[in-house]
Amino acid sequence: MSLRLLRRCLSYLVLIVIGLVGIAPFAFLLILSFKTRLEVLDVPPSLHLHWATIRENYRTVIHDKGFLTFIRNSVVVTGAATVIALLLGVPAGYAFSRLRFRGSDTWASTILSFRFMPPVAVAIPIYLMIRQLSLANTDWGLILPYVAFSLPLVVWIMIGFFDEIPREIDDAALVDGCTRATVLLRVLLPLVRPGIIVAATFGVIFIWNEFLVGLYIISAQDKQTIPIAAAGLLTTESPIDWNIAATVGVLTVIPILIFSIFVQRYIVRGITSGAVR
Name which position in 71, 77, 95, 192 contacts other proteins (CB under 8 A).
95
Contact, 194 vs 266, CB < 8 A?
yes
Name which position in 59, 219, 240, 264 contacts other proteins (CB under 8 A).
264
Contact, 135 vs 144, CB < 8 A?
yes
Terminal alpha carbon distance of the chain: 38
70 binds other proteins (CB under 8 A): no
Nearer to other proteins, 207 or 223 (CB): 207
Nearer to other proteins, 76 or 267 (CB): 267
Neighbours of 147 (CB within 10 A): 22
Nearer to other proteins, 68 or 87 (CB): 87
86 binds other proteins (CB under 8 A): no
Cis peptide upstream of residue 44 (ω within 30 degrees of 0): yes
Q: How far is the CB of 90 from other proteins (least distance, A)?
A: 9
Contact, 244 vs 61, CB < 8 A?
yes
Name which position in 75, 76, 122, 187 contacts other proteins (CB under 8 A).
122
Residue type, 188: L
Q: How far is the CB of 159 from other proteins (least distance, A)?
A: 3
Q: How far is the CB of 57 from other proteins (least distance, A)?
A: 14
Residues contacting residue 257 through CB under 8 Å, at least 6 positions apart: none
Neighbours of 114 (CB within 10 A): 14
H helix or E strand, kind and range, residue 194: helix 193-209
Name which position in 76, 112, 136, 178 contacts other proteins (CB under 8 A).
112
Residue type, 274: G
Contact, 130 vs 224, CB < 8 A?
no
34 binds other proteins (CB under 8 A): no
141 binds other proteins (CB under 8 A): no
Name which position in 80, 81, 155, 218 contacts other proteins (CB under 8 A).
155
Name which position in 47, 64, 101, 175 contacts other proteins (CB under 8 A).
101
Contact, 173 vs 51, CB < 8 A?
no
- Segment lying near other proteins (by CB under 8 A), choices 48-56, 62-70, 88-96, 185-193: 88-96
Burial profile 198-230: b = 16 or more Cβ within 10 angstroms, e = fewer: bbbbbbbbbbbebbebbbbbbeeeebbbbbbbb
Distance CA 119, CA 108 (A): 20
206 binds other proteins (CB under 8 A): yes
- Segment lying near other proteins (by CB under 8 A), choices 47-55, 57-65, 101-109, 185-193: 101-109
197 binds other proteins (CB under 8 A): no
Q: How far is the CB of 239 from other proteins (least distance, A)?
A: 10
Name which position in 168, 175, 177, 190 contacts other proteins (CB under 8 A).
168
15 binds other proteins (CB under 8 A): yes
Question: Shortest CA distance to 196 belongs to which of 113, 107, 277, 270?
Answer: 270
Nearer to other proteins, 1 or 261 (CB): 261
